[in-house]
A and B are shown apart, each in its own frame.
Chain A
């Protein structure tokens, strides 16, 4: 029986290995055929039959813009909400808000996307459409706001756990020195949980970069190279580039390969973000352990 458990345990290792091997083996040759620099820094994506161009830079920038927007909106709200839940919130309200946040994490991205399509996009069109002569409300801004909402539960849950892990003595010390409750929380507890809160932000970034369907439904999806001030116009991200064109692409063609290569770029992005997350996470564990050590016997 031991061996059954052992081999089951190896499946996750096998899965990661297979994903890496097959993704890279199918994507990298096409990247080489297009030319690595032409692929990564090419500003044009025109997968036509005559003279196709596969430059993925607009999508890389698109992913960066919507992620940055999501961070700008979701991280402050998320961290404040986490502080609220960990240290401010009255118990009865906590019993309501905690399941609500968990529920937010469980709502499928199509529902968020549909909501964005029916509420955010028309709202943005009403606010800015006429003034800037926009064709519609589908935009980087819409995707940013929607992603900002979608990463909230990730940021809140991780940040809250880390804020709660800060030893109570730090708080008590601050209050004993005359700090008000809010001052103690913001000047002592929040800095002590710094790397854990950063880890929450990084995980939120990972979610935002990888989100597909919700972004596809509100971002407009044009393959045009956008500059940051054009956030009211539509853009396409790495994820949506794959999902939009994969449906009709001919198997084995260079176009197919270029889409898988887009997936490779995305995958590398995510691996980088994840390793940053685990570095921050282990840093947090080390610091908490160091702090707990001199206290002697911890039950």
Chain B
């Protein structure tokens, strides 16, 4: 007993461990380290293979070989802007309705939540098919940037909805009571009190959605066409950066450019994700 006390807590724990415990210990640590190692290997591999091939010609505005990523980058930025223009207001307004207006647990709220869950589980290829059938075919937009961004808007809607809902719920009820107590109506409370304090949280969700848009391929391949050119209007076809990586990787003679483009895409997506979690951390810290 005294020996164990001398060794402190660690000694006690060590004394209790049986062979099975050591196995459990090894497996959990192994799995944790393996996960980290896989991610590191992937990132380092792409960086080492790609960074030496990032050349100015990769960004050339005019390139007859179809290798330059410039048109794809412009298309990607345009897609992000247009998709958010459609999806962000819809997602945020839905969340406002669910948190600030509807009775919690009402049937409508349950249905909306269920459909949002369904939407977030649908694979992107099914969205691609739907965009191709509905926006391109039925509504007659053809394969175009417009079709692509409407398709993506539905796809990221549940993500924006959920993150906004969480940020709204994180706002203490005291804010609402204070605002009502001062005589403000519900709309004024929402726009002047709730939304300003929830903005960083909502923004974090929107940035996460940007990451999804930038990385998407399967939902776009037959909704915006696969043509490498600068977009010249909503009905123009195009190719985003992620689709460009896909295309180049399939061509053996452009392997180096594929690696380099993959680096650009990876850096972009990693940056976007880090930005999102940084904003979210700041938001949660401020509320505390």
Once the chains are docked, how many angstroms separate the CA of A3 from the CA of B265? 40
**B27 contacts A by Cβ under 8 Å:** yes
Any B CB within 8 A of the CB of A85: yes
Per the 8 Å Cβ criterion, residues 98-143 of B in contact with A are 98, 100-102, 108, 111-112, 114-119, 121-130, 132-134, 137-138
| Interface residue A66 (Cβ < 8 Å from any Cβ of B) | no
A212 in complex: contacting residue of B17, B34, B124, CB < 8 Å: B124
Q: Tell me, yes or no, whether A5 is within 8 Å of chain B by CB.
A: yes
In the complex, B49 has a CB within 8 A of chain A = yes
A270 CB within 8 Å of chain B: yes
Most buried by B among A10, A16, A104, A209: A16
The residues of A that contact B97 with a CB separation of less than 8 Å are: 5-6, 8-9
Distance in angstroms from A175 CB to nearest chain B CB is 9
The verdict on A103 contacting chain B, using a C-beta distance below 8 Å, is yes
Q: How far is the CA of A103 from the CA of B28 in the complex (A)?
A: 20
| A-side contacts of B117, CB under 8 Å | 274, 278
Do A212 and B125 touch across chains, with their CB atoms under 8 A apart?
yes
Q: Is B266 an interface residue (CB 8 A)?
A: yes
Per-position binary interface string of chain B over residues 153-180, scored 1 when its CB falls under 8 Å from any chain A CB and 0 otherwise: 0100110010000000000000000000
A263 located at the interface, meaning its Cβ lies under 8 Å from any Cβ of chain B in the complex: yes
Contact of B32 among A6, A85, A183 (CB under 8 A): A85
Of all chain A residues, the one with the shortest Cβ separation from B248 is: A114
Option from B122, B138, B243 in Cβ contact (under 8 Å) with A19: B122
B68 beta carbon closer than 8 Å to chain A: no
Chain A interface residue bracket vs B? 35 or more
In the assembled complex, B249 has its CB within 8 A of some CB on chain A: yes
A97 and B124 within 8 A (CB): no
Residue interface bits A54-92, CB-to-B below 8 A is 1, else 0: 000000000000000000000011111101110011000
Task: Please determine whether B42 and A115 come into contact, CB atoms closer than 8 angstroms.
Answer: yes
Cβ distance A58 to chain B, nearest Cβ, rounded Å: 18
| Interface membership of B277, Cβ < 8 A | yes
Task: Give CA–CA (A156, B35) in the complex, Å.
Answer: 10
Give Cα distance in the complex from A178 to B242, angstroms. 54
On chain B, the number of residues with a Cβ less than 8 Å from chain A's Cβ atoms is: 89
Asked if A18 is at the interface of the complex by the 8 Å CB criterion, the answer is: yes
A107 x B35 contact (CB < 8 A):
no
Report the bound CA distance from A182 to B89 in whole Å: 48
Q: Which residue of A84, A114, A266 has the most chain B CB atoms within 10 A of its CB atom?
A: A114
A1 within 8 A of B: yes
A243 with B31: CB separation less than 8 A: no
CB closest chain-B residue, reference A21: B134
Decide: A260 and B129 in contact? CB cutoff 8 A.
yes
- For B35, B36, B117, the residue with the greatest tally of chain A CB atoms inside 10 Å of its CB is B35
Which residues on A sit within 8 Å (CB–CB) of B222?
Answer: 246-247
In the complex, what residues of A have CB within 8 A of residue B20's CB? 182-183
Verify if B285 is at the interface (C-beta below 8 Å from A). no
**Contact bitstring A222-241, B, C-beta under 8 A = 1, else 0:** 00000000000000000100
B89 near A277: Cβ-Cβ < 8 Å = no
| Closest residue of A by beta carbon distance from B93 | A8
Q: Give A276 Cβ to nearest chain B Cβ, in Å.
A: 11
CA distance A13 to B98 in the complex (A): 13
* Residue from A11, A12, A107, A178 having most chain B Cβ neighbours under 10 A: A12
Q: Which residues of A contact B49 (CB under 8 A)?
A: 118
Cβ of B94 within 8 Å of any chain A Cβ, yes or no, is: yes
From B38, B249, B273, contact of A114 by CB (8 A): B249
A18-B130, A88-B29, A266-B123 are contacts. A181–B35 as well, Cβ < 8 Å?
Answer: no
> Are A109 and B118 closer than 8 Å at their CB atoms?
no
Cβ contacts under 8 Å, B127 to chain A: 19
Contacts A12-B157, A180-B18 given; indicate if A103 touches B273 (C-beta within 8 A): yes
Q: Can you list 21 A-B contacts with CB-CB less than 8 angstroms, sorted by A residue number?
A: A1-B190, A12-B115, A12-B119, A77-B35, A81-B32, A84-B31, A97-B32, A97-B35, A100-B35, A101-B35, A108-B269, A110-B243, A111-B269, A112-B42, A113-B246, A117-B249, A156-B35, A182-B17, A260-B133, A270-B122, A273-B121
